[in-house]
Structure 1
Amino acid sequence: MVAMLARGHRNPGNSAGPHGPVPQVPCRRLALGGGPQAMRPTTFPYTPIRLSPMTKSHLRFAALLALAYLLALAMIAFWPTPVDQPVSGSLANVIGWLHAHGMPSFIGYNKIEFGANILLFLPFGYLAAAWTKKWSHALVAGFAASCLIELGQALLLPNRFASPMDIVANTMGVALGIGIHFFLHRLHTDPQLESRPAAESGSDPDRVCETGAIQHSGSSIS
């Protein structure tokens, strides 16, 4: 009987239990504290689900877009004269037409300029958040960039008008861009794993291995 049990433990996959063939569980032998050899299961690897990584061409395209945006931002910020000066008359006519067709009268040129500054710095916040991975660093970077722009306009460009409200609007745009970045990041990040270890999935590999051995032993004894 001892020989039959030994043969059964050496090759549990060659016998059948009372309910059919015993499933073969991959096991390895490990010495436990110098005692008798014990059957232990092999490690069940798992791989987390990952988003499709951006290809090099996509990364280069994104870098080019970021560079183009930063160049455009620098040109708008440090243009010798206000960038809207050539079209100020047309803008006034458009705003008057909108007022005549239902737009609230309190939305004037200053409000529209404030909103334009928010939109202008929205990509800055998105890019800064994507680069630093921390909202606080991105927000500080956007605030510092806005302060430097206004300071440069005040010191170097006599035809430009530095305004604290521009800093407020720019920082709001940065904050909005940061929020959009982290919202999209969370939306497209799947925390689920493709497969989990057996212990996490509710099955115990040790129990499976030991159960298979016991079933086989019983079939050998019978």
Structure 2
Amino acid sequence: MDIIIETKALKIFLYGILSCKCPVTEATEKKLFKLFFKAKRRESMDYLSILAVADKNPERTPMHNLFDFCAWAKDDPFSFAITINDVLRYLGSSFHYNMVVSNHPGIEITNPGLLLSHVLVPVSVRKNESNIYAIYENKHATTCYKSIIIPKDLEMEHELYGLHMGVVLCGLSGKQADMLISHQTLIKNFSEIAGRVKTVEFKKLPPYGDHFSQVNDRFKRYILR
């Protein structure tokens, strides 16, 4: 097989893993980041080396799910490249949304803030005198995300950014933001669910508690904060 991933796409995906309670052990996580740091100056890298590390994790990982997500869309599942847009669609489309809903039955009603946080959405990043926060807007909703994390290597020069579980993963072009909005339009009742969520405070995120501090510590582990 000849599977490669854009290095920038891998970075976004690994930051997404740090932002979430994925079934990836610390040992596996460190090995994945070691591969990334070794290859980060290249445009792309071999994805099979990523899967070789993930295969040794006790549970199936998002790295496996990303492979399946991309392979299903290709005529030749043995030779393709995983791009930034593939990662954005994986985290921001019905694929990821349905995965969260299946793992948390009834979350649309019981914890819509957590559900909305799990889906990568386009946000504007703003600041006041003491805080940095993110705003997500659609026709039915305006949601404010408080206590967000911005990796120190992220260039803050965009109008919109991709937010996942309280972490600003990347800047978005206008076309990328439109792509996410289009995919989220296909998610039944997504706008209405978002309309129930006025504020998400990541220092008080049910059922995780201080999710901000937990994730911040994980980013500091790799000197990313």
Name the one with the larger helix percent: 1
**RCO comparison, higher one (Cα < 8 Å, 6+):** 1
Q: TM-score, normalised by structure 1?
A: 0.24
Flag the structure with larger Rg.
1
Name the one with the larger strand percent: 2
Q: TM-score, normalised by structure 2?
A: 0.24
